[in-house]
Amino acid sequence: MEHALLAAVRARGLRQWQLAVEARLRESRVSHIIRHGGATAEERQRIAEALGMDEGLLFGRDVNIAAILNAVAGDEPPAAV
């Protein structure tokens, strides 16, 4: 799961601190979520909104990194897989 989030952040061209600002979270918390997962429902929602992506796509049970990268590139709509 955390690898999918990292892929989305990198694909968007954001730095970790930029995501933290846009998601209204502490940078250390964003770092922890990227490395270890464990985001709360509110944190998942804020991060998904900041990235402009579907929460299920980023944090769903069967995360597909290729689908995330396609959604970032605009090749397909950012829907849950």
Token code pair at residue 79: 């829907």
Distance between CA 38 and CA 72 in Å, rounded?
A: 23
Structural domains of the chain, with CATH? 2-73 (1.10.260)
pLDDT tens, residue by residue, 15-72: 999 999 999 999 999 999 988 888 999 999 999 999 888 888 788 776 666 677 777 7
Question: pTM value?
Answer: 0.75
Distance of CA 34 to CAs 19, 20, 47, 49, 73, Å? 11, 11, 11, 16, 21
Q: Tell me what pLDDT residue 40 has.
A: 94
pLDDT bin (cut points 50, 70, 90) of residue 81 is very low
